[in-house]
Structure 1
Amino acid sequence: MDMSMVWRQWLTRHDRVRDALPAVPLIVIAVAATAVGNSAWHEPHWDKVVWTALSCVPLVVRSRWPLQVALFTLAGDLTLMTVVSHTSPTPAACLVAVYTLALLGDRRTAWIVGFVAAVTIAGVYSATHADSVVGGAGLVRFDFALGATVLGRTVRSRRDNLAAAKARAERAERTREEEARRRVTEERVRIARDLHDIVAHHITLVNAQAGVAHHLMRDNPEQAYQALAHIKDNSRAALDELRATVGLLRQPDDTPGSRAPVPRLSDLDNLADGFRASGLDVRVTRTGTPSPVASSTELTAYRIVQEALTNTHKHGSATRAAVVVDYGAKGLRVTVTDDGRPGVPKGAGTGHGLIGMHERAAAVGGTVSAGPRAEGGFQVVAELPISPRSRLTPA
């Protein structure tokens, strides 16, 4: 591990040590400054070094109370400048405290304290050295105090910008993850609807035809044989549609030829033939002027008819059903009606079929209404647009 990283982590855990670190070089500089004479080195003025060390003591808590430390060190440095004016000391502890206040405090307070410190330091220096306030040494001290404030605010702005950029990146990452989860959920729901429609439809037909074959096996083997043939056809159709649906989960490099064609409105006659073979008389009627319909709308209409007929055959007491496909100028109206007896309940189901109808219609911008008729039976009406208007349409 990088030693600088270890050192920074250690300082983060020991904030008092971190705050006191600037005092070490300041004291060393004070010792060196007081030991330099006009022509040679001499014994340091230890009283001045002690004053410098005392002025650095508040720095230990500069990150906890930056304003109080800035004011205290300013007073201490001004006192030091007054007491030992002949050595021209630099208010280093005050500069560190002003920098810390600019880094950690609010902007207004930092600039007020920084300006006051700059003016007072320059004024005291000029008064104790009989120098002009705008003179060279006084102006340098004025610039040092303002420079500490400017440096602190610059570092603060940079940290704030980095923190804001990091927050934006994290928020964007969370947004991408949430969007990905939402799309995955929508795709799972859509595939679940397809699987429900396929399995419910074909298993219902297979169950009905198996019952017919079992009933006729001894008395009429020929009709029982035909029922078994219908079971075979429906089983193959179920496998093909399941393969097409599961094909949605394949990788992009899988061959498209492994997927079965998507059902369309022209396949409603074959769908009706399957129900007629299982004992439900289904008639398909088309009205209006046929016009090109989006493939997603065709699939939605087909699945709604399939689910409605499956519910009629599985739950209802009907023997006949009528499917009417009406091509309008701007929309497609699909009506499925059966002849169930009045007052006879539709049957006990999970309700997923009706929910799937509504979700399918809403996915392409349409609506579905379903309910019993007063004269008996059940009716499902779907109003679908010619072209889908939603942001997510069935594939």
Structure 2
Amino acid sequence: MSTNLQRRAARHPRAVESGLLSLLLLATLTGVLVTRSVTDGQTVLWPGVALSVLACAALLWRRGHPLPTLAVTAVCAIAEGALGYLLTPLLMGPLLVAQYSASVRVSRRTAWNSALAAAAAMAVTGLFLTTFSHQLILTSLNPAAWVLMVAALGSYVRVRRQYAVARAEHAAQEREEDARRRVIEERMRIARELHDVVAHHLALANAQAGTAAHIAPANPGQALEIIARLPETTAAALRELKATVGLLRQDTDPDEVAPAPGLDQLPDLLASCSAAGLDVDVTVQGEPQRLHSGLDLTAYRIIQEALTNVTKHAATPTARLRLVYTPRHLTLTVTNDTSAARPTAGPVAQGGFGLLGMRERALAIGGTFHAAPRPEGGFEVTCSLPLHDLDARENESESTT
């Protein structure tokens, strides 16, 4: 019911304004009649009625001109007091409404200055201009107290509104910062994906070309065989790059987007490494578990980047990959050593985004990452990824869908 009334009031603001002012005028006229009855008809009726009507009419401009409206209603109240009317809250209704509006709409200092001026005027009027001077509390203190109380109420409402506005602005700023943070995170994620896709396949193609060039004088047949596999590597790079970039397009058909890679595609990854001349020895310990999509992609990308680094920088033709499944963690270890020499297609890179990307991927899902040279030679990458939140993540995903 209240909601319907609020909607009707919002649709007809002028009618609501007129109704409220009519009620206020009725209350003010009641105050005039009460004073006249108390004084046994000694006060003049029609001037009091005219002043009440003028004060209520002035309230129509209280929103755009709060201080002039307050001045007009205060003058009307003073004039009524001078005519012998008792300044009751009913008679002072227009003044109290004007004081509230001024306290809500003007600054704190201006509001209190106007309130003190109005209260002082009411006190002086009660002391010197009315016929009730023998009752100090009723004629002076009471009207001044009502003005100050309404001013305090208006100041409180103004502060609450300012707080609500500041809170809304703060919430909007937090939403903008959160959106900006999400955009940055998405850019970082896309950058990692593009780096992993491009770096891996280009490193394999570079290693294949370097190996073919190295063995061509002694074994041209094997060199031609390696070169013949180059189109497969570049085609795989193009397919994966197209799938990754396609996620950024709004008009991409979901059926055309390939699923994110995971450990089920590990044999294909090892085959591409073998085509580039890198033999990978894989060891699996523990019972393999089903991984959620985020963890599956993270594990695959870390292995892919680690083997890519071995292909680009290591001086050995072999690497060891160990996957250890426990009830709570999946540990990945990629190791290479310097037990055998192999040709390199270029100098060893002194820096890049590979290790940084692997570390970010691991930390993003609550895992740990460590990469460092081995004391006996070579390099080792170790990553531990948590499995305990798999059910929680899946339940959260199902609840959002």
TM-score interval w.r.t. the shorter chain? 0.5 to 0.7
Q: Would you say 1:319 and 2:302 are equivalent positions?
A: no
> Amino acid of the residue matched to residue 125 of structure 1?
L
| Offset from partner CA, 1:300-350 (integer Å, 9 cap, x none) | 1111111111112212222210001111121111110101369xxx93333
- 8 Å CA contact 2:127, 2:136 repeated in 1: no
Moved more, 192-201 or 257-266: 257-266
- 1:133 pairs, out of 135, 149, 161, with 135
User: What is the TM-score with the length of structure 1 in the denominator?
Assistant: 0.65
What secondary structure, in the 3-state scheme, does the structure 2 residue paired with 1:249 have?
Answer: coil
Q: How big is the shift at 1:285?
A: 1.7
Name the CA distance, whole Å, in 2 between partners of 1:355 and 1:131. 87
Cα distance, 1:355 vs. partner? 1.0
Instruction: Name the structure 2 match of 1:277.
Output: 275
- Partner SS, residue 281 of structure 2: strand
What count of residue pairs does the alignment treat as equivalent? Answer: 308
Q: CA deviation at 1:229?
A: 3.0
Shift of 1:368: 0.8
Q: CA deviation at 1:151?
A: 4.3
Tell me what 2:252 maps to. 254
Please tell me whether residue 124 in structure 1 is matched to residue 143 in structure 2: no
SS of the equivalent of 2:316 reads coil
Question: What SS is found at the alignment partner of 2:229?
Answer: helix
Which residue pairs with 1:374 in the alignment?
375
Structure 2 counterpart of 1:179: 178
Contact 2:203 2:312 in 1 (8 A): yes
Measured on the aligned residues, the alpha-carbon RMSD in Å equals: 4.3
Distance 1:184 1:236 in 2: 30
Distance in 2 between the 1:98 and 1:321 partners?
84
Gaps of 5+ in 1: 1-37, 39-61, 64-73, 75-79
In structure 2, how many angstroms separate the alpha carbons of the residues matched to 1:207 and 1:324? Answer: 26
Is the Cα–Cα contact under 8 Å of residues 197 and 306 in structure 1 kept in the other structure? yes
How far is the alpha carbon of 1:175 from its aligned partner?
0.9
Residue 358 (structure 2) aligns with:
357
Residue type matched to 2:361 in 1?
Answer: R
Give 1:183 deviation, angstroms: 0.6
Q: Who is 2:21 aligned against?
A: none
Equivalent residue letter for 1:314: K
Q: What is the Cα deviation at residue 145 of structure 1?
A: 3.6
C-alpha separation in 2, matches of 1:323 and 1:130: 102
1:240 deviates by: 1.8
1:202 aligns with 2:201: yes
What pairs with 1:92-103 in structure 2 (closer than 5 Å)? Answer: none
Distance 2:240 2:388 in 1: 24
How many Å separate the matches in 2 of 1:261 and 1:284?
Answer: 24
Give the match for residue 288 of structure 1. 286
Contact residue 365 and residue 388 of structure 1 kept, 8 A: no
User: Equivalent residue of 1:263, what SS?
Assistant: coil
Which residue identity is paired with 1:293? L
2:180 is aligned with 1:170:
no
Partners in 2 of 1:341 and 1:90 — Cα distance?
109
1:388/1:244 CA distance change after superposition, 3 Å: farther
Deviation, structure 1 residue 86: 8.3
TM-score normalised over the length of structure 2: 0.64
Distance 1:86 1:306 in 2: 94
CA distance 1:367–1:123, change in 2 (3 Å): same
CA distance, structure 1, for counterparts of residue 331 and residue 82 of structure 2: 101
Conserved? CA contact 1:118–1:143, under 8 Å: no
CA distances 1:132-170 after superposition (whole Å, capped 9, x unpaired): 4279xx74x666544443443344334333322221221
Instruction: Name stretches of at least 5 consecutive residues in structure 2 with no aligned partner.
Output: 1-43, 45-66, 69-73, 341-346, 397-401
Amino acid at match of 1:270: D
Structure 1 residue matching 2:247: 3-state secondary structure: helix
Distance (Å, rounded) in 2 between the aligned partners of 1:154 and 1:130? 28
Identity %: 41
Contact persistence 1:331–1:383 (CA under 8 A): yes
What is the CA deviation profile of residues 279-316 of structure 1, one whole-angstrom value per residue up to 9, with x for unaligned ones?
22211221211121222112111111111111122122
- Note closer, same or farther for the CA distance 1:332–1:124 as it changes in structure 2 (3 Å cut): same
> Structure 1's 180 and 330: CA in aligned 2 closer, same or farther, altered over 3 A?
same
Q: Aligned equivalents of 1:388 and 1:229: distance in 2? A: 45
Judged with a 3 Å threshold, the aligned counterparts in structure 2 of structure 1 residues 124 and 274 are, in CA distance, closer, same or farther, namely: same
CA distance in 2, matches of 1:216, 1:318: 16
Q: Which of 330, 335, 346 is matched with 2:328 structurally?
A: 330
Partners of 2:144 and 2:362 in 1: CA distance: 71
